[in-house]
Amino acid sequence: MNESPLQTARYEYQPKTPDVLRDNVMIRVGEPTESIADRQEIQRAFPNTYGSPLVYFEKSAIKIDYPQINVGVILSGGQAPGGHNVIAGLFDSLKKLNSNNRLYGFLGGPGGLIEHQYKELTANIIDAYRNTGGFDIIGSGRTKLETEEQFESGLRICEKLNIKAIVIIGGDDSNTNACILAEYYMQKGSDVQIIGCPKTIDGDLKNEMIETSFGFDTACKVYSELIGNIQRDAGSARKYWHFIRLMGRSASHITLECSLLCQPNITIVSEEVEAKNFTLNDIVEDIAVVIAKRADAGLNFGTILIPEGLLEFISAIKKLIAELNDLLADNNEILNLNTNDQKYDFITKILSEENKKTFFSLPKAIALQLSLDRDSHGNVQVSLIETEKLLIEMVGKRLEQMKSEGKYKGKFSSVNHFFGYEGRCASPSNFDADYCYSLGVTASLLVVAGKTGYMASIKNLTAHASKWLAGGVPITMMFNMEKKSGKLKPVIQKALVNLDGEPFKFLQTNRELWASAEDTFVYPGAIQYFGPSEVCDKPTRTLLLESR
């Protein structure tokens, strides 16, 4: 395989780690925990893992001789930069704790555990993937762990391979499944432990113990480079409005971070839309007004950032989606329909009158996209909904009206973009390479400490990596009850953009200037891997503003 000089340099990069993880460690146990909401329901669902204490790792002068163990690892869900380094950190630490320890990778995600597809991960394999993007070392998948048959199948392969712990690297849904699995094995009297690691480029897996999920930093830097390039082109051509949709199904963290890095003319934040009860027409009007004001100044160009989950935060559309979710969960008949026209007609017959009006108000293509099959967790597949094209169509019509009213004198030409896969498998930034490696080491220490139903936690992330703090948080601490596929289920509560937080306040303070001025675009450029630490290793603007 031919390799670029960059690939070679990334293989050789040595991740920086917290001082506390470098030598001998001891565990400090904190106070018992409670779930973030719905405490009685969560405790009933997780009687064995609920209420576990926070744990912290500290330096120790005592070296412990740990017995030999075998550990399994799973990559679950969508890709995120740095996953390979979690596995590398896990492997290196296990070998450091006991050179006879063995690590098995289950292939293709949770399905590999159920179907007994695996391979042992050796030093030769691990070394080929250090500091690289993607999940191709063992592959990933979206199989949901939810049935007793699946749990028992996983237990059988663990017994066969003498695996004492499984580390599941995934997002909120994957870590929810990890906790369900941990609870089941405890109920069965099995000693197989389950440890999670926080992964998602969307950035919505965060709380007081999980300051950020891995991959968010790298993905935002990749998208921001592309946005910066587009802004340079917009300022050069001076004739196009670029509508840019960014990943983020349940929260607008990526859109906000990219806005802080690039300073586009318009940034839509879904959480603000919901808080202010904006309609789709309100959003269109706000965009049209900015475009008209810039046209008055001779600036018929600009950039607009749009979170991909926007439609789910508009009240009327949110109600429509909720009803569609229930209808699709209960009506298998629609799955047997062959054409989109048949599906459209079927849905219009069974919708409530209120939601039928919303359904008919949308372009047919968008209405159908809202009605597409759900993912394995019952969620709308928002990455398939072309919100940027919907806004272009509606803004264009509004500007034509404004022109007839004498309120718009410019020329509206648009270009649409969706940035998704471009950021999921990039070579991790130094921050993500360091963070992920430390998460892997922390996961190994939670394993040898005998913990289960925990997620690895690294804190103090705005400090130098040597000053980071490591520990574990019980997954049940992050739970609340949410409706999934028509039923209330325990899930990790998603972290939305905090409208009272410093990152959003910074956007608010500068929004008017960025909308109207000509020279406020920022061109962040490619991810910097080599150079001064203050350039290469700095975390996201979001983390820096939150730490004020």
- Give the max Cα distance, the chain: 80
Residues 446 and 25 sit within 8 Å (Cβ to Cβ): no
Instruction: Name, in order, each residue with C-beta under 8 angstroms of 226's C-beta and a sequence gap of 6 or more.
Output: 417, 419, 422
Residues 79 and 49 sit within 8 Å (Cβ to Cβ): no
Q: Please pick, among 172, 173, 202, 217, the residue that the annotation labels catalytic.
A: 202
Spell out a b/e string for 79-90, using b for 16 or more CB atoms within 10 Å of the CB, else e. bbbbbbbbbbbb
For residue 487, what are the β-bridge partners? Answer: 484
Nearest to 204 by CA among 173, 246, 142, 250: 250
* DSSP at 407: S
Burial class (CB in 10 A: 0-12, 13-18, 19+), 340: middle
Nearest to 184 by CA among 157, 143, 146: 146
Nearest to 486 by CA among 376, 326, 352: 326
- d(CA 294, CA 299) in angstroms, rounded, equals 5
Cα 337 to chain center, whole Å?
A: 33
177, 316, 495 from 158: Cα distances, Å: 17, 48, 33
Write 231-237 long-range contacts (CB < 8 A, 24+).
231/262, 231/264, 231/303, 231/521, 231/522, 231/523, 232/521, 232/523, 234/301, 234/302, 234/303, 234/521, 235/301, 235/518, 235/521, 237/301
Q: What is the DSSP string of 461-488?
A: TTS-GGG-EEEEEEGGGGEEEEEETTEE
Q: Token match 């930034």: residue?
A: 429
- d(CA 416, CA 256) in angstroms, rounded, equals 19
For residue 26, what are the β-bridge partners? Answer: 58
Instruction: Name, in order, each residue with C-beta under 8 angstroms of 266's C-beta and a sequence gap of 6 or more.
Output: 286, 287, 290, 302, 303, 304, 305, 515
Based on the residue annotation, tell me whether 217 is a catalytic residue of this protein.
no
What amino acid is encoded at 23 in this protein?
D
* DSSP at 214: B
- d(CA 283, CA 267) in angstroms, rounded, equals 11
Residues 325 and 355 sit within 8 Å (Cβ to Cβ): no
81, 150, 232, 538 from 429: Cα distances, Å: 8, 36, 23, 9
Three-state secondary-structure class, residue 143 = coil
- d(CA 93, CA 224) in angstroms, rounded, equals 34
Active site residues per annotation: 202
